[in-house]
A and B are shown apart, each in its own frame.
Chain A
Amino acid sequence: MLMDVQVCALGSWTVVAPIGELDLASVPRLRQEVLAALSSPGGDVLLDLAAVDFVDSVGLGGVVAVAKRVIGAGGRFAIARPEERVWAVFRLVGLDKVFDRFDDLDGAVAGG
């Protein structure tokens, strides 16, 4: 269950922070929020997973889909602060090698 999606600006990034679980029930909302965050072309999106406690294959697919949209629009995409049990699922399917990852939001700002 996805409880909420918080969006805020941080440096050059738009931080999109879903709260809850990423699955078939919640991915449409995530896509909608990221697309809204892309209202300015070339926007950089940092997906903050600190408050996500579960992801399954549909959730992973949703993250891949929004990353493609962001990068396709000329922006950068990265993941921040995933819980270990959530990142383990990314690792299981090899997506840990696909996405840039930051352990804290300051690192993302400094790195970007």
Chain B
Amino acid sequence: MGEVVLDVPARPEYLSLVRQVVAAAAAVQMVRDERIDALRLAVSEATTNAIESYADVGGAASDPRGQRIVVRCNLDVERVEVEVRDRAGGIDADVAETVVDPGDLDDPNQERGRGLPLMRHLADQWEITAGDGGTSVRLVVFTPWGDQPTDD
């Protein structure tokens, strides 16, 4: 298994770098192009949530120097797993239970609220872990040699 770790400031201008690194890492494992597109988008959503969550917290995490996001890619023959971790209080883990399909939003004209539905739809597996130390979003896509998921 290979591991690629990216530790970046929690600022929007780093989103593009995160997407590029994750997409390039997935390509190392020969993940299909359309799955790389899906992973790139899912990781963008998770990282955006992490960046925005820092804006909502006070205390030590309000110090800009401590506002960082760690993106960890675990590369395996059968799967690519990406963990996006922040030290803010981003997503309520219970929310993950109620996320709808991206095409089933109440109002197709709403401006926000599509991030979690997209993550759920795009990743073969996903998981949110939230605690006092921050939030971790884990996204998995399978390579052509990996097991196909029976559910999410």
- Which A residues lie at the B interface, using CB under 8 A? 1, 21, 23-25, 54, 56-58, 60-62, 64-65, 68, 85, 88-89, 92-95, 97-98
Contacts and interface: CB of A to CB of B under 8 A. Distances in A.
Given A54-B40, A58-B48, A94-B103, A25 B16 contact: yes
State the majority secondary structure of interface residues on B.
helix
State the majority secondary structure of interface residues on A.
helix
A92 B121 contact: yes
15 contacts: A23-B44, A24-B48, A54-B41, A60-B114, A61-B110, A61-B112, A68-B109, A88-B37, A89-B41, A92-B103, A93-B103, A93-B114, A94-B102, A94-B103, A95-B108
| Among all A-B residue pairs, the 10 with the closest Cβ atoms | A25-B12, A57-B114, A61-B111, A24-B12, A1-B16, A56-B44, A93-B102, A57-B115, A94-B103, A94-B108
B120 to A, nearest CB: 12
Interface of B: 12-13, 15-16, 19, 37, 40-41, 44-45, 48, 51-52, 102-103, 105, 108-112, 114-115, 117-118, 121
Given A57-B48, A62-B111, 19 more contacts: A21-B19, A25-B15, A25-B16, A54-B19, A54-B40, A54-B41, A54-B44, A57-B114, A57-B118, A58-B48, A58-B115, A61-B112, A61-B114, A64-B110, A65-B111, A85-B37, A93-B102, A93-B114, A93-B117
